[in-house]
Structure 1
Amino acid sequence: MVLTPLKLNLNSVHLTDEQFYQLCQNNRELNFERNAKGELIIMPPVGGESGNRESELNGDLLIWNRQTRLGYTFSSSTVFKLPNGGDRSPDAAWISRERWEALTPQQRRKFPPIAPDFAIELRSETDNLSTLQEKMWEYLDAGVRLGWLINPQQQQVEIYRLGQEVEVRNLPTELLGEDVLPGFSLSLDVY
């Protein structure tokens, strides 16, 4: 059985940011997101292969960040309150030290009201590609400067850059952090 995200239209019901936060806190066994249109999305858990790949990606980003001390890394459990109204959880994310430390301690404790500088989405078997592509565009609209959509099913990666066309590469490939993550590189073998 394949589990897919459940999308609830809340147009007639307005959840405040605090109510959304409490909904997430009261149902910790579920992973909630809200897109910029206000739809509530209940994300299914991923399988072992996707979970392992996600962990590896986060590990590579964490090692680079520990060496450079340029910012902060975040796992898929982190919900970011995006400026465009979405509440999103990338599979891996990074925010520069300067931007993160500009937030108040209270803002850092709850769902941080900030778009990451960098975000990774890893397509699992339950993910619809067009839905993830919409999510990547939502990230760019919110101010994410660089994003990677890794698609093992089609052996491709889509590179999203603020103000540019999407670049599609076939796997294996090496991805560079460019000016967002200086010195970071990620070798993606056949996934």
Structure 2
Amino acid sequence: MLKLFGTPKVETPPDLDNLNLECFYTSKEFEYINNQLKNNILKINGHPVNLFELDKNRKLIPMLQIPYCKEQVVAEIAAQLRNWNIQTRQGVEVTISQVLQLTNEQAWSFQSALFTPIFLVEVADIGVDTDNPKFREVDKRFKEKLITQSMVVQLGWLIDPQHKQIYIYRKGRRCSNPGWKDISGENILPGFVLDISLINRIIDPILPAPSRLSQVQANCPYCNNAFNNIYELIKHLESVHC
């Protein structure tokens, strides 16, 4: 018996040079675009783009490349959150953009539904005051999209290390500006305090004086194991006793 089949339809992959940010993209198209960005340079309005995210309407959101110092500040905040998570055993997941809890499917693919974090930090250049378009744009995003309309996000921080500004957004409350000092995670991140002095080391670097501390033998106060330097002791404490 002879069976005739129609020619299978071949999907045309998105053209990286002609992306339409107002179009809707499938999960497969979204994954294809981000994979292409690993080996290709894409600029939008003159700014290089590292990757895209999808909004709730499945439109592309370009994630622009960021300056070195800003990357270092983001990494430092993530490191402090990670250490707090290990020490307090909160069971949350920390990424460079979100603190969230994921299913296994969400963690390993782009196929799942979008997820919403409970806590957000944005590091941005917003200027020295609130009367400028850069601050108004980010402030509006926090108030109208990230905090107010979300059913999950409870706390958000807007941090400008370049101008030493911090703004705190809480669900159902007005934005506050506590000044450039340590800030608490409140009841959302119980026991967490962001150490601003460690961020100051990044934005106002001072060469440390020579120290022999790292070479001094240190003993664990819990099991009395000996280590050749303080860094090995810290790693041991985190992995065994925290």
TM over 0.5: yes
Residues 10 and 38, structure 1, Cα contact 8 Å, conserved in 2: no
Shift of 1:61: 0.5
Runs of 4+ in 1 over 6 A off after TM superposition: none
2:202 is aligned with 1:182 = no
Matches of 2:58 and 2:171, distance apart in 1? 23
- TM-score, structure 1 as length reference: 0.70
Q: How does 1:153-164 map to 2 (within 5 A)?
A: 153-164=162-173
Residues 118 and 153, structure 2, Cα contact 8 Å, conserved in 1: yes
Shift of 1:136: 2.5
Residues 21 and 61, structure 2, Cα contact 8 Å, conserved in 1: no
- Counterpart of 1:75? 95
Identity %: 27
Structure 1: unaligned runs, 5 residues or longer? 1-7, 77-89
- Over the residues paired in the alignment, what is the CA RMSD in angstroms? 2.7
- Relative contact order, CA 8 A, sep 6+: which one is greater? 1
Equivalent position amino acid for 2:179 in 1: N
Matches of 1:134 and 1:22, distance apart in 2? 31
2:25 is aligned with 1:15 = yes
SS in structure 2 opposite 1:159? strand
The answer to which of 149-158 and 62-71 deviates more is: 149-158
Q: Residues 184 and 157 from structure 1, CA distance in 2 versus in 1: closer, same or farther, beyond 3 angstroms?
A: same
Q: Which has the larger radius of gyration?
A: 2
The answer to which of 114-123 and 43-52 deviates more is: 43-52
2:142 is aligned with 1:132 = no
SS in structure 2 opposite 1:169? coil
Equivalent position amino acid for 2:153 in 1: V
Matches of 1:116 and 1:108, distance apart in 2? 14
Q: Residues 43 and 114 from structure 1, CA distance in 2 versus in 1: closer, same or farther, beyond 3 angstroms?
A: closer
- TM-score, structure 2 as length reference: 0.57
Higher strand share: 1
